[in-house]
Amino acid sequence: MDSPHPKNQTKPHASESFAALADLIGRKDLSIYLQPILDMRTGEAVGYEALARPGITTGFAGAIDLFDAAAAANRMWELEAVTREQALERARELDPQTLLFLNNSPQTFTDPRFVPTIEAELARAGLQPSRIVLEITERTEIEANATMIEHVKQLKSMGFQVALDDAGAGASGLNRLMQLRPHWLKLDRELIDRVDEDRYKTNLVRLLVRFCRLSGVKLLAEGMEREEELNVLIDSGVEYGQGFFLGRPAPAPQSPASAIVGKILRRARGERRDSRESPIRTLARRCTTVQAFQSIGEVASRLLSFAADGGVVVLDGRRCVGWCPMNKILSLASTRKRSDQIGRHAVVSTAALHPGTSVKSALELASVRDEDELGLPLILHDDAGETFVVPLRALLAAAAASQAEAPGREVDPLTGLPARVAADMRIEELLRGDWQESVQAPIEAAFIDLRGFGELNATMGYATGDNVIKEVAAHIRRHVTDPIPGSFLCHLGEDRFLVLGPDVPMRQNIERFVASFSKLMQSSDEFDDGSIARIGPDGLDLPSCPLALRVLMVGPLRGRIQHARSLYVIESQLRQKARSIEESLPNDQSVIINDDRAQRQQLRASA
């Protein structure tokens, strides 16, 4: 989506706009600026968005004023035709491995002239459709009608990629997303603005990342203007970015600044990774590749070289277009489409994965393909242009093997502590009496989590959050459970821990741990006086993220609960009580909440 032009001119009055617009279209008095779109795993420019700028003497203050006038005058088709013509001319200046993003209004997409016109325009420009991403803006509340849906299908079949622009800006956005099934989804800049300061925005971005990964859609965040936004988006898994912070629109294509590439690489390498997930490249094998401009007949003549693969990978230069199955090639070769370029018939929805994608993620992507594509191989395409395939049979075999060999769910991969399943098993042992007799003391439970952890994740990123969780786990083990024979510590997930142990020593250790929490955390490089230290891009300190402990004590457990599920019900009740108390407390103050029933039992015993 275009950005406002600096208002260095006076906006024409309504009575003058139509005449000024007609003059601009007639003289083609506009210029094309190119804004880079970066891969937020490598920092490389994968494409450029073409942005129209009205000429200085036209009287239009900027692109928004210009296109508003065209919409009001019902001349959007003519204006966008001029914009496309000039943008396609500029494509010659781009690296042939990069994409060109073109903005199109819904009105243009539904125009019956659009499909044949853009096909002819690309032929004149000597460009492959696979290099073009056609953006449909969501700024208007126009539903995707039957004509738009049909045009999108035709354009996809020709090899074009389709993007939905400003996702989330309109109420009809979700419906249009489901109807059009785009290759790209561009996040509205309203969602990106200050995303590092709003955990609801962050959570929504993470939800969209998950959706796009499962659906095989590329997610692009536009409107990034601050490093903090970049960091949160990388941590959340967004793979493509655009905005003034990454690169401003310019008359000529600009390579990403080395400082920006460095920031992206450092942040991307620090993201959280599950060490148990093998990369899909371990299953890859070589494959036959053809260029998109080659004819069906020419490719069919090489049948013996790719018969074992079941098809070919179609490339446009070094960039992957998609997969073309052998049966489709043979079918087309026997018709008048024998002279067609094979790039027009590639299955674009099977476009390549990065070789570092995990087997788990690859399985998820394969499982949500359309039924007629389920059996097609996965394509891997690396930054150097090397291409491989992973047959579905190999992917399923790897999934079965990893399931058989994977560690049980009893261990949390982040902290190495027993996980929820192991905790439930230990609680059941306690209720059967298998554990109580060996300890010879009433067993109590303590749920420990962090106040302010959600804010920390939202502002500092999930890599920092993981480091905090590991550090807290180490301190609980060292100061609470290790000194007590027979005690048990597990990681329930996120920032939640459960401690089981003899009542008196466990309570004493927990009280000492809570009292010294801030001091203990000062020893970490991540912390400053018990808070997460934050440094701004100018080197100045930013407000820190205070952290404190929340401890929920339950016990004695024998006679108090009947099964493990009962304990978590009590935890939920105590958590509600804790939150009502915390409303009147400073964010950096730790709290210990005791189970009321346990307190009453203790009072009766002391009486």
Model confidence at 596, in pLDDT bands (50, 70, 90)?
Answer: low
pLDDT at residue 337, rounded to an integer: 87
Q: Please check whether residues 368 and 389 belong to one and the same domain.
A: yes
Residue 410: inside a domain: no
Residue 409: inside a domain: no
Q: Which of 129-138, 163-172, 223-232, 537-546 has the lowest mean pLDDT?
A: 537-546
Q: Please check whether residues 246 and 296 belong to one and the same domain.
A: no
For the purposes of burial, counting CB atoms within 10 Å of the CB of 583, is it exposed (0-12), middle (13-18) or buried (19 or more)? Answer: exposed
Q: What is the mean pLDDT of residues 167-174?
A: 59
- Domain closes at, from 216, 235, 269: 269
Q: What is the pTM of this model?
A: 0.58
Q: Please check whether residues 194 and 83 belong to one and the same domain.
A: yes
Q: Please check whether residues 351 and 230 belong to one and the same domain.
A: no
Model confidence at 307, in pLDDT bands (50, 70, 90)?
Answer: confident
**Closest listed residue to residue 508, CA positions, set 488, 475, 480, 487:** 480
Model confidence at 131, in pLDDT bands (50, 70, 90)?
Answer: very high
Q: Please check whether residues 236 and 314 belong to one and the same domain.
A: no
pLDDT at residue 276, rounded to an integer: 41
Q: Please check whether residues 86 and 227 belong to one and the same domain.
A: yes
Percent over 90 (pLDDT), the chain: 39
Q: What is the mean pLDDT of residues 592-606?
A: 55
Q: How far apart are CA 509 and CA 549, in angstroms?
A: 14
Residue 413: inside a domain: no
What is the CATH classification number for the domain harbouring 537? Answer: 3.30.70.270
Residue 291: inside a domain: yes
Q: Please check whether residues 33 and 74 belong to one and the same domain.
A: yes
Q: Model confidence over 337-363: pLDDT tens digits?
A: 899 999 988 887 656 788 877 787 788
What is the CATH classification number for the domain harbouring 362? Answer: 3.10.580.10
Is the pLDDT at 601 greater than 70? The verdict is no
pLDDT at residue 545, rounded to an integer: 63
Domain that holds residue 61: 17-269
Residue 42: inside a domain: yes
Q: Please check whether residues 76 and 213 belong to one and the same domain.
A: yes
Q: How far apart are CA 395 and CA 278, in angstroms?
A: 12
Residue 71: inside a domain: yes
Total count of domains within the chain: 3
Q: Model confidence over 371-386: pLDDT tens digits?
A: 677 778 899 887 677 8
Q: What is the mean pLDDT of the chain?
A: 82
Q: Please check whether residues 260 and 288 belong to one and the same domain.
A: no
Model confidence at 434, in pLDDT bands (50, 70, 90)?
Answer: low
> Which amino acid belongs to residue 383?
D
Q: How far apart are CA 552 and CA 575, in angstroms?
A: 7
What is the CATH classification number for the domain harbouring 150? Answer: 3.20.20.450
Is the pLDDT at 569 greater than 60? The verdict is yes
Residue 30: inside a domain: yes
pLDDT at residue 366, rounded to an integer: 78
Q: Please check whether residues 357 and 463 belong to one and the same domain.
A: no
- Domain closes at, from 245, 269, 293: 269
Residue 1: inside a domain: no
Q: Please check whether residues 367 and 428 belong to one and the same domain.
A: no
Q: In sequence order, what E strands does 503-572 have?
A: 527-528, 531-535, 541-546, 548-554
Q: What is the mean pLDDT of residues 42-61?
A: 92
Q: What is the mean pLDDT of residues 460-485?
A: 85
End-to-end CA gap in the chain: 73
Q: What is the mean pLDDT of residues 286-310?
A: 87
Q: Please check whether residues 327 and 389 belong to one and the same domain.
A: yes
Model confidence at 486, in pLDDT bands (50, 70, 90)?
Answer: confident
- Domain closes at, from 269, 300, 328: 269
Alpha-helix runs per DSSP H in 73-222: 76-90, 106-109, 114-125, 146-158, 173-180, 189-192, 199-215
Q: Model confidence over 535-557: pLDDT tens digits?
A: 343 443 434 567 889 999 998 88
- The torsion angle over the Cα atoms of residues 512, 514, 519 and 520, rounded to 10 degrees, is 80
pLDDT at residue 391, rounded to an integer: 86
Question: Which of 115-129, 186-200, 406-420 has the highest mean predicted lDDT (pLDDT)?
Answer: 115-129
